[in-house]
Each structure stands twice: as C-alpha cells, then as structure tokens.
Amino acid sequence: MSLLPRAPSEIEVVAHRGVSAEAPEHTLAAYQQALTLGADAVECDVRMTRDGVLVCVHDRRINRTSTGRGVVSALDLAELEQHRVVRRRPRGAGIRGRPPRPAVEEDDDEPDEDAGRVLTLDRLLEYVTASPGRVRLAIETKHPTRHAGQVEAALITSLRRFGLLAGGRPLEWSGRPAVRVMSFSPTALRRVRVLAPDLPTVHLVRQILPRTRTRTVPPAGTAVGPSLALLRQDPGLVGRLHRAGLQVHVWVVNRPRDMHFALSLGVDAIITDEAAVLMHLLGRD
C-alpha cells in the first residue's frame, strides 16, 4: 500500500447497506458488523412507506430482500413488518476464495426485538447514536414514485430528533460531519439543502459528467459519488472534481484490485459491500 496519494487513515471506509457481504443488507446485524470492524461510515437507502415512515430498503419492491412482495410506497409499515428480511445471494459473491452462503439466509445475529423485521431509519439512527463506537451515516434517498418532497422533510425531522442535526448544521464526530445525504437526484439534494443548508450532500452519478460542468458548474452538493465504472472510463474525473473543491466517494468497490485502482486515484471515500476486505487492504484491521 505504499506510494498511494493518501494515507490509509485518510480514506473513508463506507459499509454499503451495512457489511452486506456478511449479513443481510440493511439489517442491524449488518450495521453492527460495520461498527465492530471500525468502518468510518455506513450507507443506507431510504424509502417512504404508504403511511409516511422512512424504511431502509434499496429496491422499489420488497420481493428480493424479504419473504413478501409489493412496492414499499404502497404498503404501510405494519404490512412490511409481516414479512421477514432475507438475503438471496451468496455471501462474498464475486470475491475469489470466499465460501458461498445459502441462497436464502435470515439475519440470525440481530437483536431479538429487531430480528427479521424491516429496519426503520429511526431505529438505525437510534442504534448508531446509542453506540459507543462512532460511525458516520451516508443516507441515500431513493427516487420516490410517491411522496416527492416528503422524504427529504421526514429525513431532516428524524436527524433533528436524534440530535444529528441542530438547525441546519450536522453534529460533528472527530471534527467531521456525522451524517450526509446522497442521491442521484439533484432535485432531492436541492430540497435537502433548503431544509439544512450545512448538511453535506453527495451527488451520485453513473454517467460521464461533461468536462465543462465539472470545470465551471459544480454538481449539486459537497461531494460527487461516481460509480466504479465511471471512474474506469474517466480516471481524470477525480482530479477535476478535487480541483473544483469536491470530494469523491466511489461506489460500489468490492474486489481488491478495484480497491487498489480507486486508492491509486486518490478518492476520499470507498463505498463497499466488503468493508472487512478494504480495512485489511488498508492495514486497519
């Protein structure tokens, strides 16, 4: 790990949906593992239920990640809670040498009262703020098919309720904001900045950004989150964004050789399902 642009301690390790290579995604068990590993931050996707509760679910539907079926925004929380959270992909898929897990796995490591139940954002915030270990939160709002505008308002209300936001300013842990909001939608990020002007925001991007845009008009937010594929197509993007005063948070980087590639470019944060692998590679385990 020598001759990298940044020291290993400067790279933010972000556990994607918790340590989702090891436990079912978006479960307290997955987030607990991130804290145990000493990851710097955890990523979480939020969607709003029909009755206005923010839940940590990636897909528009619950079919892949639970025993139930249906669209999150068309179900009440009580209906979502009737189904068990499961994972339907092998553990460590894509990482050579890692043993596969059963095709469907339940989250046995969760605290009893939460076991198998969909995770609400408030429960995650309660868990993280009550933990003695400090892990920052990178919360991604998914494009709502319903509830446009309500998601951001509910998110800000929850952050205030758990003391993560005072006025528009985020709480700081070790001199860095304890929470940030990410989205592919510039509109969603603009709404967040109106409600909480000092809350860091990360504009997630899949497509090549026009060079003129990164030179003259910074994308929405304080950081840009390019996909790994985008950085492979355009490695110079990191330098251009840094010169524009923006951090670079790359997603989702799971293979050691891809982690080396991202580190060689000098990114600020790496979002990964394989937080243990990245911590090891950085010599932080």
Q: Whose Cβ is closer to ligand G3P: residue 159's or residue 230's?
A: 230
**For Ca ion, which stretch binds (CB under 5 A), given 3-11, 42-50, 173-181, 260-268?**
42-50
Residues with catalytic annotation? 16, 58
Contact 200, 232 (CB under 8 A): no
Q: Is 31 in the site for ligand G3P (CB under 6 A)?
A: no
Give just the sign of the alpha carbon dihedral 105, 67, 122, 144.
Answer: positive
Asked whether position 219 contacts ligand G3P by CB under 6 A, the answer is: no
Q: Give whichever of 166 and 229 is closer to ligand G3P, judged by the CB atom.
A: 229
Residues in the chain, how many? 285
Q: Between helices 186-195 and 150-161, what is the axis angle to 10°?
A: 40
Out of 58, 83, 136, 193, the residue judged to bind ligand G3P by CB under 6 A: 58
Buried b (16+ CB within 10 A) or exposed e, 174-195: eeebbbbbbbebeebbebbbeb
Query: Interface with ligand G3P includes 40 (CB under 6 A)?
Result: no
Q: Assess 274 for contact with ligand G3P (CB under 6 A).
A: no
Residue among 261, 266, 236 nearest 249 (CA): 266
Binding-site partner at residue 281 among Ca ion, ligand G3P, none, CB < 5 to 8 Å by type: none
- Enumerate the β-bridge partners of residue 42: 15, 137
Return the one option of ligand G3P, Ca ion, none that residue 225 interacts with (CB less than 5 to 8 A, by type).
Answer: ligand G3P
- Give the strand pairing for 136-141 and 176-177: unpaired
273 binds Ca ion (CB under 5 A): no
Report how far apart, in Å, the C-alpha atoms of 185 and of each of 126, 150, 157, 207, 237 are.
27, 14, 20, 13, 20
For strand 41-48 and strand 136-141, is the pairing parallel, antiparallel, or unpaired? parallel
Min dist. Cβ of residue 231 to ligand G3P (A): 13
**From Ca ion, ligand G3P, none, which one binds at residue 144 (CB under 5 to 8 Å depending on kind)?**
none
Asked if 43 interacts with ligand G3P (CB under 6 A), we say yes
Residues lying near ligand G3P in the complex (CB under 6 A): 16, 43, 45, 58, 140, 204, 225, 251-252, 271
Residues lying near Ca ion in the complex (CB under 5 A): 45, 140
